[in-house]
Amino acid sequence: MAAGIPIRLVQENHNTIELDATSMTLSTSRKVGGSALPLTGSRRIGMDLNVNKAMINIQGIIADDREGTLATAHTASINFGRKIEGQQFTMASNLEALLNQELRLQTLSTATSNQEKTITFTNTASAGATAYSSNGGAGSTPTVLVNTSDATSVQLATAVVNYINNQLSSDFTATLVEGTNYESKSINCVVNIVMVAKGSVTAMRRTTPKFKQIENPVNAVIFEPPRVSPRFGGGTDSVKKSAGDKAMDLYGIINNSTRRTFRSANPIDLYGTRRLPDHVKDYIIGIQIPYNSSIKATGGEQYVARNFFMPTGFYYGKEKTSEGNDHPASVTFDPSEETTGIQGSVQKFDITYDAGESVYNFNMIFAPIDNLIIG
């Protein structure tokens, strides 16, 4: 039996379902055609509005987990190089407003109340550099010192990394990585945060990292937070499943997927609503299909693994090719970052089984969709 390509179906609750693909077809049909013009010797004219229909057809096998899935930790990132809308974050007025904010990070906990750690920001009064301080806060507490006149995104990101690794190391680890700032330049302005505890389910919804206003001062400048994407997610529990377990999981999820934020509280109270916990939202929202890339290989390697992505929207030049694909195949899927995988939905999934075999076969049609309305 030929070795399959490991693909991952990604659920809204950040869990992944690993399958082995033995054949694959990436199909794109563009809406373009020609019509003959009269009195021209049948010269043809057409119109192309850059509209297409895409479909992914994959065949493969569902096999027993060989070693099982290791538990992984939730991760998150904060890009201090740009606001949510893409503008500059380190404007002087926004840095002033940052002083009245605290950065909150929740821990992996089964408690039914939020278990959060906080990071404060303190003004250096333009007399010092933007940096982590172990005793520069109110009452000689740890803080991130901010020079509101000249703080840079790299300085802020570095200070937050140092705060986490010095003060919150029992719950998180942080690293400074490259990201795209408001000028579309690649600089070290992103803080990657990983929970120390591994696992998927928390009693409370995962809503952090987030910035929270401390006080409500008169005539306060409105604070515009940096881009947080993703919030904590991607953590998984250690599990080992048989081929039958995985086939049953897929059959159940695809037949009755859960994504709606609200639903009836019980079968009798048709008007009662409740918010669903994150781990219940099992709708399949994306797929990660790896390929070997030589153009991104470094250090003498022949290949490195990257994921196929669909560059819909305003992509230009190399951004929509393999040269613009900087994420490793192991990257956590993020619907707001198109190069981490392909968004969409499973349109059709056939499972077949032959008596006496130890594996199940599947045929899947996956429809790439950027914005999906679900009833």
- Domain assignment present for 273: no
pLDDT of residue 127: 64
Shared domain check, 205 and 225: yes
Distance CA(151)–CA(211), nearest Å, equals 18
Reported as a pLDDT band with limits 50, 70 and 90, residue 15 is confident
Shared domain check, 218 and 123: yes
Q: pLDDT (tens digit, 9 = 90+) per residue, 61-109?
A: 998 876 666 788 889 999 999 998 889 999 999 999 999 999 999 988 7
Distance CA(11)–CA(283), nearest Å, equals 5
Distance CA(143)–CA(243), nearest Å, equals 51
- Domain assignment present for 373: no
What is the DSSP-derived secondary structure letter of residue 211?
Answer: E
Backbone angles phi, psi at 267, to 5 degrees: -60, -20
Shared domain check, 181 and 301: no
Shared domain check, 59 and 126: no
Tell me the average pLDDT across 324-351. 89
Tell me the average pLDDT across 299-318. 86
- Contact between 60 and 19 (Cβ < 8 Å): yes
Q: Which of 200, 233, 266 is the last residue of a domain?
A: 233
Shared domain check, 228 and 96: yes
**pLDDT-above-90 percentage for the chain:** 50
Shared domain check, 148 and 57: no
pLDDT of residue 258: 74
- One-letter amino acid identity for 108? L
Shared domain check, 166 and 92: yes
User: In this structure, what token pair is assigned to residue 256?
Assistant: 């009755």
Shared domain check, 227 and 84: yes
Shared domain check, 196 and 247: no
Shared domain check, 183 and 108: yes
- Domain assignment present for 263: no
Q: pLDDT (tens digit, 9 = 90+) per residue, 223-242?
A: 999 999 878 887 878 888 88
- Contact between 84 and 224 (Cβ < 8 Å): yes
Angle at 26 between CA 21 and CA 28, to 5 degrees: 165
- Domain assignment present for 154: yes
Ranges 20-24, 50-54, 66-70: which has the least confidence: 66-70
Shared domain check, 194 and 103: yes
Mean pLDDT of the chain: 85
pLDDT of residue 323: 86
Higher pLDDT, 234 or 183: 183
Q: pLDDT (tens digit, 9 = 90+) per residue, 194-225?
A: 999 988 766 566 788 999 998 776 566 789 99
**pLDDT-above-70 percentage for the chain:** 87
Q: pLDDT (tens digit, 9 = 90+) per residue, 117-156?
A: 999 999 987 667 899 999 999 899 999 999 999 999 999 9
Q: pLDDT (tens digit, 9 = 90+) per residue, 255-303?
A: 988 765 443 333 333 334 344 555 567 889 999 999 999 988 888 889 9
The whole-angstrom distance between residue 196's C-alpha and the CA centroid of its chain comes to 19
- Domain assignment present for 228: yes
Q: Is residue 284 classed as helix, strand or coil in its secondary structure?
A: strand
Count structural domains, the chain: 2
pLDDT of residue 218: 55
- Domain assignment present for 262: no
pLDDT for residue 163 is more than 50: yes
pLDDT of residue 86: 87
Structural domain of 111: 73-233
Shared domain check, 214 and 174: yes
pLDDT of residue 66: 67
CB hemisphere CA count around 188 (13 angstroms) = 9
User: In this structure, what token pair is assigned to residue 302?
Assistant: 């022949």
